[in-house]
Amino acid sequence: MEKFDVVVVGAGLAGSMAAYVAAKAGLQVLLAERGTKPGTKTVSGGLLYSHGLSRSFPEFWKEDPCPVERAISRNVVSFLTARQAASLDFYDEAFSAPPFNAFSVLRSRLDPWLAAKAEAAGAVPVYGVKVDSLLKQNDRVVGIRSGGDDVGAEIVIVAEGVNTLTSRQAGIQPETLPETVGVGVKQVIGLPPGEVERRFQLRGIEGTQITTIGFPAGIEGGAFLYTNRDSLSLGMIVNMRSLVDHDVRMYEILEEFKQHPLVSRWIEGGSLLEYSGCFVGEGGYGSIPPLWGDGFLLAGSAAGLFLNTGFTLRGMDFALESGQIAGRVAVEAVRAKQTNSAFLARYRDQLASSFVLRQLKSYRKYPKVFANPRLYARYPEILTSLLHRAYFVDGTDKPHLRALLRESYRGKASLIGLGRDMLQAMRTL
């Protein structure tokens, strides 16, 4: 049986970063990916916070080929109803200058770029390989099995995304509850040269991210749009329990979203270049599975490391940081010849002292806020109704703002309900 110091399952950002760190330190590393190439099994809205790569690859945006699309300088949050939109629009010129805040990315370009870095450092990549199970000996993970082939390892780093069948089959991770998982779909829509800049009022490498909530009404989830060089990444993430309860399919919801009068203008005349889907962890800090054990570590989405604050969707920088820490701990364990659970517990300790678990713990109550059904219908309706009444002028006497507010929420929510939800949100925030 062939044996490596480290076997990494999944060549996404967490897996490739872990493989890069371990291989760069001189370990024998196998990087196994079920897709025919990295990025083919990954869907992402496409926003990478720069700090995630900068520590390992300073000024990565200058590389050729460049792994990123546009520097996001404009951030928009929109509440939608069937024919209306109320938005918070923030522009910051500093975000479009080095060291940059965030970039839009296409995972079909970024993932192969990072995997190539791991290969250049000495990792052995194998693509189009499905890992069927983790090899275990006396309750310790000792390698992987793919088809009829077994590969041994001192440590296995599982980084194959939310739907991590290998760790679940091995009894490492419990079955996922529908309310803790989102279903994501994304389309990449091509536009003619110069059209992205014109439609979104951009200059040079500037980019825009837009997140929306409230349409289609009642669906627990939201949509996103990111501008790329000559294309748009448009998609939605919807809670799995909400999909089941409403008996709808993701492609139906996305197509309805694209018909919204505001959204249709963004994508008008575009051509579909890519369509993909995946699962997204939504359970937050309370749903993080065991991160380590005898002979294994979990990293990235496989470890449930994803955070939605309403303003930011953070998964990629969490994946890169957890992958880097996993690779570093693997190096320490192999060199010390201590791959048992007690030694590998330092992975959890280092994650806990990093921004990853600190942020997830800080926002641990957010899933309860986002589970409020009024957030996805009633409150967008109240907000847009209030603004409509405030701006509409027909020559009659206009009531004061307080009266307009009462008219807007009448029949949609009670004052007690509004106060309760506001109090819960304030406590969470």
pLDDT tens-digit map of 12-29: 999 999 999 999 999 999
Q: Does pLDDT of 280 surpass 90?
A: no
Q: Does pLDDT of 402 surpass 90?
A: no
User: Around Cβ 399, how many Cβ atoms within 10 Å?
Assistant: 12
- The pLDDT of residue 161 is 82
- One domain, residues 293 and 168: yes
Q: Does pLDDT of 127 surpass 60?
A: yes
Average pLDDT, the chain: 91
Q: Where is the domain boundary, 226, 259, 281? A: 281
- One domain, residues 25 and 126: yes
Confidence of residue 313 (pLDDT cuts 50, 70, 90): confident
Confidence of residue 373 (pLDDT cuts 50, 70, 90): confident
Q: Does pLDDT of 393 surpass 80?
A: yes
Q: φ, ψ for residue 389 (rounded to 5)?
A: -65, -35
- One domain, residues 259 and 330: no
- One domain, residues 40 and 132: yes
With tokens 């995997």, the residue in question is: 115
Q: State how beta strands 149-158 and 2-9 pair.
A: parallel
CATH number at residue 309: 3.50.50.60
For the chain, the first-to-last Cα distance in angstroms comes to 52
Which range among 323-332, 351-360, 375-384, 420-429 shows the weakest confidence by mean pLDDT? 420-429
Q: Give the separation between CA 23 and CA 124, rounded to whole angstroms.
A: 9
The CA-CA-CA angle for residues 286, 326, 10, to 5°, reads 85
Structure tokens at 336: 């010390």
| 98 lies in some domain | no
Confidence of residue 5 (pLDDT cuts 50, 70, 90): very high
Confidence of residue 282 (pLDDT cuts 50, 70, 90): confident
- One domain, residues 63 and 127: yes
- The pLDDT of residue 75 is 97
Q: Does pLDDT of 134 surpass 80?
A: yes
Residue ranges making up the domain that contains 218: 179-281
Confidence of residue 129 (pLDDT cuts 50, 70, 90): very high
Q: Does pLDDT of 171 surpass 90?
A: no
| 270 lies in some domain | yes
- The pLDDT of residue 165 is 65
Q: Does pLDDT of 420 surpass 80?
A: no
| 78 lies in some domain | no
Q: Considering the entire predicted model, what is its pTM?
A: 0.93
- One domain, residues 141 and 217: no
Q: Does pLDDT of 52 surpass 70?
A: yes
- The pLDDT of residue 404 is 83
Q: Does pLDDT of 45 surpass 60?
A: no
- Of all residues in the chain, the percent with pLDDT exceeding 90 is 70
Q: φ, ψ for residue 359 (rounded to 5)?
A: -70, -45
- The pLDDT of residue 398 is 84
Which range among 230-234, 372-376, 418-422 shows the weakest confidence by mean pLDDT? 418-422
- One domain, residues 12 and 129: yes
CATH number at residue 250: 3.30.9.90
Rounded mean pLDDT of 295-309?
91
Confidence of residue 43 (pLDDT cuts 50, 70, 90): low
| 88 lies in some domain | no
Q: Does pLDDT of 423 surpass 80?
A: no
- The pLDDT of residue 233 is 96
| 200 lies in some domain | yes
Number of domains observed in the structure of the chain: 3
| 123 lies in some domain | yes
Structure tokens at 214: 């409230």
| 80 lies in some domain | no
Q: Give the separation between CA 144 and CA 31, rounded to whole angstroms.
A: 12
Q: Where is the domain boundary, 263, 281, 299? A: 281
pLDDT digits (tens, 9 = 90+) for 84-109: 999 999 999 999 999 999 999 999 99
Confidence of residue 170 (pLDDT cuts 50, 70, 90): low
- One domain, residues 48 and 148: yes
- The pLDDT of residue 409 is 75
Selection from 176-180, 241-245, 329-333 with the highest mean pLDDT: 329-333
Q: Give the separation between CA 63 and CA 161, rounded to whole angstroms.
A: 27
Find, among 205, 197, 267, the residue nearest to 232 by Cα. 267
- One domain, residues 132 and 254: no
Q: Where is the domain boundary, 353, 384, 402? A: 353
| 82 lies in some domain | no
- One domain, residues 388 and 264: no
- One domain, residues 218 and 315: no
- One domain, residues 246 and 125: no
Q: Does pLDDT of 190 surpass 70?
A: yes
- Of all residues in the chain, the percent with pLDDT exceeding 70 is 94
